[in-house]
A and B are shown apart, each in its own frame.
Chain A
Amino acid sequence: MKMKFTYGLKRGLPIALGYLSVSFGFGISAVGAGLSPWQAVLISLMNVTSAGQQAGVAVMAAAGTAIEMMLTQLVINLRYSLMGIALTQKLSGKFTFLHRLLCAFGITDEVFVMAASEEETITPAYMYGLIALPILGWTLGTALGAYAGQILPAALCSALGLAIYAMFVAIVVPPAKENRGVLYAVLISVALSCILYYVPFLKVHISQGFAIILCAVIASALMAYLMPRKEDEADA
């Protein structure tokens, strides 16, 4: 039984470090948009999501309405609903309703992928460990960026922007090497993502959060249809 709190912490550490640099950038841009540093920090602590916050600050800066804010967040963050449903299929029996209420707060793209790619069922202790450091890193990075963004050399800041993506690559390459289905799912999703990004009309009309849902749903459905996994694989 390795799904303990400390194991979760260990798995969350690289996510937290990646978040430090990404939220650092968010801190800088939020202050640039007119928020005070502590306002930026509060947004990160209460939302823990990159694209949604970026869009949220834009709504704030444009003095948008509450309805506008709600719809923006709904569209960009809807992917978390899909991820939440996927995770419920891996939860251990120890996950009471209260644990679910608390852990739901920490479901981010990276946390989801990490938890979903674990071999064993997910315990509450593991989940608390997994989300603890990323939330801390996300909030701390925002504070650093908001208060000290101007101090670090620009070249270093921009190189750090790569951290989170490099981590994604590190998560996805090993299973794609082993499993043909995973490889194809990733390649299809990447191809769709490029189409949505580079075709001018599509890019203007589809937000990044929604684009991710679209690509992932189409690629996964296609692979589930074309390449159903064997019985023994699917029960793992």
Chain B
Amino acid sequence: MHNYWVLLLVMAITTYLIRMIPFAAFRFRIKSRFIRDFLYYVPYAVLGAMTVPYIFYATGNFYTALAGFIAAFVLAYKGLSLLPVAAISCLVAYLVGFVV
């Protein structure tokens, strides 16, 4: 790939500027209640949209992924922290893979 360096730099610089410009430039506290509530909900909405339906295709097998999702949901509901939830979910998907 002869233009690797050019494309790598363009990719990295574009990505950095997208992250940096608003983060560095935005220096005032937003007064609008609507916008503050909007920003409060954004992270959770982002997570929802990133997880479903993509989680069902994360393992390449719908049934192992579904089993992993259910395990993660139940454990999270019971209040387990991130790491055990992720680890057990993977393990469940791996084990179910021997059955389906």
Please encode chain B, from 60 to 88, with 1 for each CB lying within 8 Å of some chain A CB and 0 for all others.
11001100110111011101111101110
Chain A residue nearest in CB terms to B28: A88
Among B49, B69, B81, contact of A212 (Cβ-Cβ < 8 Å): B49
Q: In the complex, are the beta carbons of B3 and A100 less than 8 A apart?
A: no
Known: A63-B3, A221-B38. 16 other contacts (CB 8 A): A13-B83, A59-B7, A73-B18, A74-B18, A77-B19, A165-B54, A165-B55, A170-B86, A172-B76, A186-B45, A187-B48, A189-B45, A190-B48, A193-B50, A220-B45, A234-B37
**What's the minimum C-beta distance from A79 to chain B, rounded to whole angstroms?**
7
Q: In the complex, are the beta carbons of A117 and B43 less than 8 A apart?
A: yes
Q: In the complex, are the beta carbons of A158 and B42 less than 8 A apart?
A: no
Residues from 1 to 33 in B contacting A, C-beta threshold 8 Å = 1, 3-4, 6-8, 10-12, 14-16, 18-24, 26-27, 29-30, 33
A103 with B73, Cβ < 8 A, contacts A172-B47, A194-B52, A229-B40 known = no
Q: In the complex, are the beta carbons of B82 and A14 less than 8 A apart?
A: yes
Q: Which residues of B contact A (CB under 8 A)?
A: 1, 3-4, 6-8, 10-12, 14-16, 18-24, 26-27, 29-30, 33-55, 58-61, 64-65, 68-69, 71-73, 75-77, 79-83, 85-87, 89-91, 93-94, 97
**What's the minimum C-beta distance from B32 to chain A, rounded to whole angstroms?**
10
Q: In the complex, are the beta carbons of B86 and A166 less than 8 A apart?
A: yes
A49 with B82, Cβ < 8 A, contacts A81-B22, A97-B24 known = no
Determine the distance from Cα of A90 to Cα of B20 in the docked complex, in whole angstroms.
Answer: 16
Chain A residue nearest in CB terms to B56: A165
Residues from 199 to 236 in A contacting B, C-beta threshold 8 Å = 208, 211-212, 215-217, 219-221, 223-225, 227-229, 234
Q: In the complex, are the beta carbons of A215 and B48 less than 8 A apart?
A: yes
Q: In the complex, are the beta carbons of A186 and B43 less than 8 A apart?
A: no
**What's the minimum C-beta distance from B28 to chain A, rounded to whole angstroms?**
9
24 A-B interface contacts by CB (under 8 A)? A14-B82, A66-B6, A73-B18, A77-B14, A84-B21, A84-B22, A100-B20, A100-B23, A104-B16, A107-B23, A113-B46, A155-B97, A156-B94, A158-B61, A159-B93, A162-B93, A166-B55, A166-B69, A166-B72, A172-B47, A181-B41, A194-B53, A216-B46, A228-B34
Chain B residue nearest in CB terms to A171: B47
Among B12, B30, B36, contact of A47 (Cβ-Cβ < 8 Å): B12
**What's the minimum C-beta distance from B61 to chain A, rounded to whole angstroms?**
7
Q: In the complex, are the beta carbons of B39 and A198 less than 8 A apart?
A: no
Q: In the complex, are the beta carbons of A162 and B44 less than 8 A apart?
A: no
Q: In the complex, are the beta carbons of A225 and B34 less than 8 A apart?
A: yes
A172 with B48, Cβ < 8 A, contacts A105-B16, A167-B82 known = yes
Determine the distance from Cα of A197 to Cα of B29 in the docked complex, in whole angstroms.
Answer: 36
Task: List chain B residues, Cβ under 8 A from A197.
Answer: 53-54
Decide yes or no whether A148 CB sits under 8 A from chain B: no
Task: List chain B residues, Cβ under 8 A from A107.
Answer: 19, 23
